[in-house]
Every structure is written in structure tokens, then in C-alpha cells.
Amino acid sequence: MHLYGHPASGNVYKTQLILALTGRAYDLSPVKWGTPEIESPEFLALNPAGRVPVLDDAGFVLPESNAQLWYLAQGTRFWPEAVKDQAQVLRWLFWEQYSHEPYLAVIRYLRHYGAPGPETERRIAERTPGAEAALRLLEQHLAGRDWLVGDGCTIADLALYAYTHVAHEAGLPLDGHPAVRAWLARVEALPGFVPLAAYETAA
């Protein structure tokens, strides 16, 4: 099993997290967003979208973090058995990519790597209401629930953990979100849990 991606990326971390939680070994090639390497012919042959993570499972090449979560969860406790629960897990995975990641992950990225100045500030301001709405929706859904779907941790929780637990790095501390914070702690208590690499140590 081989993974391409920068270990401080929340999307790459999703895949690292399920690999750790399910006890599977892998190698990591640290390909980084925003570098020439990610636009090289070699990398684009793996993923023409020019994005990480890319998973290579003995020659089976799979882009898209949430598709990787699904693939790696098959036959594990992180993919529920009932079709309706499976559909709800996928609902949260699509919501994560459309209504959560484009706000929380992009703001976090801009705060770390954006050129200081009004254009970066405009882009952060433009995306902040969407980030706040995503966190409000999570808080509302998790109030009175342990996990996003059903009675156990699924890949919906793992996908949404990735950029929610570093919301403060996007300028959005979770003080007003007690249900979200309790849920983050439940993910962190899973046997085999590994933390996201910090930007500075992963550079």
C-alpha cells in the first residue's frame, strides 16, 4: 500500500487515519499541493486532477480521499452493514466535500500559505460564513448523538474529523460547539488513533 500526499493535509490525513485504525502498513511519498511535482507528468498519470491523496494498492490507483476511505473501510467496523446507514454515511461524505472542506480546509490553507494582503483576506472573508454554517450544522446534528450515523464510528466521522478538529487553525475556535468537541474526543479515543501532522513539522 502506497500513499502520495503531504502529511499536514487533512485530506491525506483521512486516509492515514483509517490505515492506522485498521492496522495496515503503508509507505508515504510526500507530494505537496502547490509544488511543481504535483503537476509533473508522472504524478498526473496517477491522478489527472493533480490532487492528493492518491492511494496505490498493489497497482490499483485510487484518487479522492473519501473514495479511499470507502475502499479501505470495506469489511471493517467503519462501514455500516445496513444499506440505509451506508447511504447516510455517503451523504455526509458528499456534504463534507461540498459544504465543509471548501470552507474550513481552504481557509486553513490560506492562513498558512496565502500571500499576506487584502486578496487573501478577501478570500478568507468570502469563505468564513460557509465554514461557520458547516460547524453549526455539525453541532446541531451531534447534539444528543455520539456519531454522525448509527451507533458507531464510521468513515463519515473520520472524514469530518479531519478539518473540524483544526477549525481553530482556520480562525474558528470550537468554544461554542460542545457536542462537536465531545465527538472529536470520541474519535481521538479510538484504538490506533494517530494525530494529524502539524504544518511546521511536516513541511
H helices within 74-203, ranges in order?
83-95, 101-113, 118-142, 155-164, 178-188, 199-202
The CB density around residue 181, as the number of other CB atoms within 10 Å, is: 15
For its own copies, the closer of residues 130 and 190 by Cβ is 130
The verdict on 125 binding its own copies (CB under 8 A) reads no
The verdict on 171 binding its own copies (CB under 8 A) reads no
Residue 87's closest CA among 146, 149, 158, 152?
149
The verdict on 101 binding its own copies (CB under 8 A) reads yes
Half-sphere exposure (CA, 13 Å, Cβ side) for 179?
Answer: 14
For its own copies, the closer of residues 84 and 112 by Cβ is 84
Q: What does the DSSP 8-state code read for residue 42?
A: H
Stretch that binds its own copies, among 27-35, 85-93, 108-116, 144-152 (CB under 8 A): 85-93
**Binding residues for its own copies (CB under 8 A):** 48-49, 51, 60, 62-68, 70-71, 74, 83-84, 87-88, 90-91, 93-95, 97-99, 101-102, 137, 140-141
